[in-house]
Amino acid sequence: MESESIYVIREAYARYAKVAVLWSMGKDSTALLWMVRKAFFGSVPFPVVHIDTSYKFPEIYAFRDRLTREWGLDLRIARNEEALAAGMGPTKGDKFACCNALKTVALKRAIAGMGFEALLLGIRRDEHGVRAKERYFSPRAQDFSWNVGAQPPELWDLYATAEEAAHDRIHPLLHMTELDIWRYVRREGIPVNPLYLARDGRRFRSIGCAPCCAPVPSSAATVDEIVAELENSRESERAGRAQDKESAFTMQKLRSLGYM
């Protein structure tokens, strides 16, 4: 499972001159970053991009700065300053517009500004029905759009990358489930954001912006306890995510516009 992911990561590194990895400091993208270090014998040989909405939890920023130092990362922060100056936020207007402006638009500008040809992302198929349809190598058009109904074929692990794509999204963790990630975190001893660990009977199962993520009831205060909890849980991972509740196809719409 790890080997498959490392193969995809190395394939991206070997094939593109300008690659970056997207890091949200969540468990998935931190596990991805760990695999990048394993793929390249301890170093991360390309930039690490954080799409910063400015609404993240303080624990997320602290975790980011600590690992950036310890792992020697070339961190680039991408923010949509214009939208932030204009007051864009999750409490103003709808959440769809906020996610689109502060995440997708910020990402678009970062890619354009830094000229990345390929971006590594830690999304997984079991997270969401729309992400279940992703490819390992997923092309994006100039306007960032993703046409989920007309994706190019992906045959075995012989990844074709059409010349006309503006950039490619690379998804090395596609085959892993939430439980796989936690077992991997445990096996490898990967640092974990404290928000995931239960405090006062609640913990976050999925983390993002503070106003749009709700903790779930839990007593799992260690990684071992999280693994045990998930082995017996029937609740979906994104149950605490406001974005998914707004409308049935919000994720599909966001993703077709270039969302992660």
Chain positions contacting another protein, by CB under 8 A: 1-4, 6-7, 10-11, 13-14, 37-43, 45, 125-126, 128-130, 132-133, 135, 148-149, 151-156, 158, 160-165, 175-177, 179-181, 183-184, 187, 230-237, 248-249, 252
Please enumerate in sequence order all residues whose Cβ is within 8 A of that of 100, keeping only pairs 6 or more positions apart, or say none. 254, 257, 259
Nearer to another protein, 7 or 96 (CB): 7
Nearer to another protein, 116 or 184 (CB): 184
How far apart, in whole angstroms, are the C-alpha atoms of residue 97 and residue 29?
24
The Cα-based distances of 146 to 97, 183, 204 in angstroms read: 18, 31, 29
How far apart, in whole angstroms, are the C-alpha atoms of residue 31 and residue 28?
5
Give min distance, CB of 93 to another protein, in A: 23
Give min distance, CB of 223 to another protein, in A: 13
Give min distance, CB of 88 to another protein, in A: 26
Give the count of beta carbons closer than 10 Å to the beta carbon of residue 138. 24
Give min distance, CB of 13 to another protein, in A: 6
Cβ–Cβ under 8 Å, residues 176 and 13: no
If you search the block for the tokens 């503006």, which residue do you land on? 166
Pull the structure tokens for residue 177.
């489930």
Give min distance, CB of 97 to another protein, in A: 19
Nearer to another protein, 142 or 249 (CB): 249
